[in-house]
Amino acid sequence: MFLQDGELIISRPMATLDMEQAKKSVKKLLNYDIDKVVCYHGGVYKDNIKETLKKYRLTEIFMS
């Protein structure tokens, strides 16, 4: 995950070796009460994490 213009971006297909595994990883995160995400490429995301992760599970970024 990374931040782009203040938004949490899960991944991009061209930057992800295994998108199916990325989908599974996001789904696992929904089981936890997360108060912030520290991104590898900089930035900390703190806004409505569970809702954001749920939203990204349904967007085309995860469509094969």
Task: Report the DSSP beta bridge partners of residue 40.
Answer: none
DSSP string for residues in 20-37: HHHHHHHHHHTTS--S-E
Is residue 18 classed as helix, strand or coil in its secondary structure?
Answer: coil
Q: In whole angstroms, give the CA distance from residue 43 to residue 25.
A: 20
pLDDT tens for residues 7-35? 887 777 777 888 788 878 888 888 889 89
In the prediction, which pLDDT does 21 show? 85
pLDDT at 6 over 60: yes
In the prediction, which pLDDT does 62 show? 42
Output 64 or 33, whichever has higher pLDDT. Answer: 33
